[in-house]
Amino acid sequence: MRLLSCMLLICAGLAADDPTKPASSPAAAQAKKPPAALAVPADAVQISPGLFRWQDKDGKSWMYRRSPFGVSRWEEGSADAKQKSVIDTTKAVEQGDSVRFERDSPFGKHVWVRKKTELDETEQKIWAHQQEKIAASRKAEKE
């Protein structure tokens, strides 16, 4: 049964590539091409291994990172927006002298616990943001 369904799929694909049909337009062929691979510009300045900074003709600064999966690019000032997103999407709950952090990730919920005295800069911002949200909700309840 499986062989029969595979053969039907192959035949359907061959029928779609009918040589009697006229060739598609060049514009359609260009639209089907995959995008060009992103590359680090030749005049980019290396900041650290695999990380580069480059400024375009309009004066925008771009960051490039080489990884095993290819090159990625982002605008230099967008790191603040990314950190704000992390702060907004991470939940912090007090547990005595520690704080439990929870954040959803593509691989499930990421949970970690840190003592209040050992929080790094981002965790301190997350904790402060969570306390502000709690204070605002209590204020709204009182009104």
3-state helix/strand/coil string of 91-143: EEEEECCEEEEEEEECCEEEEEEEEHHHCCHHHHHHHHHHHHHHHHHHHHHHC
Location of structure tokens 């680090």: 40
Tens of pLDDT, residue by residue, the chain (143 residues)? 565 565 555 655 554 555 555 555 565 556 667 677 788 888 899 988 888 999 988 888 888 888 888 888 888 776 566 667 778 888 999 999 999 999 988 888 999 999 999 998 889 989 998 999 888 888 888 77
Q: Is the Cβ–Cβ distance between 127 and 99 less than 8 Å?
A: yes
The ranges assigned to domains in the chain are 45-79, 90-142
Q: Determine the straight-line distance between the first and last CA of the chain, rounded to whole angstroms.
A: 68
